[in-house]
Amino acid sequence: MGKGRIIKALSGFYYVENEDGTFQCRGRGNFRKRKITPLVGDWVEFEAENKTDGYVLHVDERTNELVRPPIANVEQAVLVFSTEEPSFSSLLLDRFLVHVEANNIEPIICLSKIDLLEDETEKAIQLYEKTYREIGYEVVNTSIYVDETIETLRPYLSGKVSVFAGQSGVGKSSLLNALMPDLNIETNPISKSLGRGKHTTRHVELIKVENGYVADTPGFSSLDFNGIEVEELGFLFPEMRERSKGCKFRGCTHVNEPKCAVKAALELGEIAQHRYDHYVQFIDEIKSQKRRY
């Protein structure tokens, strides 16, 4: 009997790693009947007489579980947003941040391709950086052509399980290659990546980096607000979460209620207007999603 973490799942096998090495295991016979599906990232109990004939006996409780990619116990998400090509979208960033917060995952905001940053957009980007830092988020700037920026990102991956998330073309795969040159993950020039579907078999795997792990597939394929309630949304914006204690009404949604501490902070400029606007937009989306089902 041993304890370990599943780092890869492929063709019915689970690859469990611990300090003694990696063990190829099958799921225990009754898992199927009990509807237990071990996931990459799971902590498990297993038994193995050798490195290739093990059995996963028990799956520990998960801190979270992503559906696509199927991976459990993710601790950190590196949210990659290019400053140019594609240009920076604070709306999309806020959407990602809400999902990360809802899943109990620590975000790192990575502003990529800073070598392409134009003078006209630089000011705006710096202002965003300041806003997000003040909220309490970590922000790093990267360019795959500037080694020092890659080295600033590296320590953040230490000792954690991370996923890289973000729009297609922002440079996720390129960043992973820059961090771990042996990986050779395929990257796509933007113009060619559109349209043609690739038919490579995908499996999820955790790759060791900086005594942590990185999932080699992008996290969060779906960004709808399924499962997030209107009353909950304010708690997923850290700058609102703190201030909502000062609202007159319990369960204040910070939209039309009087004596709202969040709106007061907005008036004072302590909460960024774009963050609040996106919050209101997400509230509307949640409400119209509810109406549809």
Give the residues lining the site for Zn ion (CB under 5 A): 247, 252, 254, 260, 262
With respect to Mg ion, which residue has the nearer C-beta, 162 or 253? 162
Q: Which does 38 bind (CB under 5 to 8 A by kind): Zn ion, ligand GDP, Mg ion, none?
A: none
Q: Do residues 152 and 142 make contact, with C-beta atoms less than 8 angstroms apart?
A: yes
With respect to ligand GDP, which residue has the nearer C-beta, 6 or 170? 170
Q: Which does 252 bind (CB under 5 to 8 A by kind): Mg ion, Zn ion, ligand GDP, none?
A: Zn ion
Q: Give the C-alpha separation, 164 to 153, whole Å.
A: 12
- C-beta of 254: minimal distance to ligand GDP in Å? 34
Provide the token pair at 115. 């070598």
Q: Do residues 78 and 110 make contact, with C-beta atoms less than 8 angstroms apart?
A: yes
- C-beta of 266: minimal distance to Zn ion in Å? 10
Pairing state between β 2-10 and 13-18: antiparallel
- Point out the residue whose Cβ comes nearest to Mg ion: 173
Q: Give the C-alpha separation, 66 to 4, whole Å.
A: 20
Which residues from 146-175 bind Mg ion, rule CB under 5 A?
172-173
Q: Give the C-alpha separation, 240 to 128, whole Å.
A: 17
- C-beta of 233: minimal distance to Zn ion in Å? 12
Give the torsion through C-alpha atoms of 162, 165, 169, 171, to 10 deg: -30
With respect to Mg ion, which residue has the nearer C-beta, 127 or 190? 190
Q: Which residues of 168-199 are buried (b: 16+ CB within 10 A; e: fewer)?
A: ebbbbbbbbbbbbeeeeeeeeeeeeeeeeeee
With respect to Zn ion, which residue has the nearer C-beta, 93 or 233? 233
Q: Which does 174 bind (CB under 5 to 8 A by kind): Zn ion, ligand GDP, Mg ion, none?
A: ligand GDP
Which chain residues interact with ligand GDP by CB under 6 A? Answer: 112-113, 115-116, 143-145, 168-174, 187-190
Q: Give the C-alpha separation, 190 to 180, whole Å.
A: 22
Instruction: DSSP for 218-232, please give it.
Output: -S-S----TT--HHH
Count of beta carbons in the 10 Å neighbourhood of residue 66: 26
Burial class of residue 46 (count of CB atoms within 10 Å of its CB; 0-12, 13-18, 19+): buried
Q: Which does 143 bind (CB under 5 to 8 A by kind): Mg ion, ligand GDP, Zn ion, none?
A: ligand GDP
- C-beta of 59: minimal distance to Zn ion in Å? 40
- Point out the residue whose Cβ comes nearest to ligand GDP: 171
Q: Which does 144 bind (CB under 5 to 8 A by kind): Mg ion, ligand GDP, Zn ion, none?
A: ligand GDP
With respect to ligand GDP, which residue has the nearer C-beta, 97 or 271? 97
- C-beta of 172: minimal distance to Mg ion in Å? 5
With respect to ligand GDP, which residue has the nearer C-beta, 4 or 107? 107
Count of beta carbons in the 10 Å neighbourhood of residue 201: 6
- C-beta of 262: minimal distance to Zn ion in Å? 4
With respect to Mg ion, which residue has the nearer C-beta, 189 or 227? 189
Is residue 52 classed as helix, strand or coil in its secondary structure? coil
Angle 119-135/273-292 helices, nearest 10 degrees?
Answer: 70
Residue ranges in contact with Mg ion by CB under 5 A: 172-173
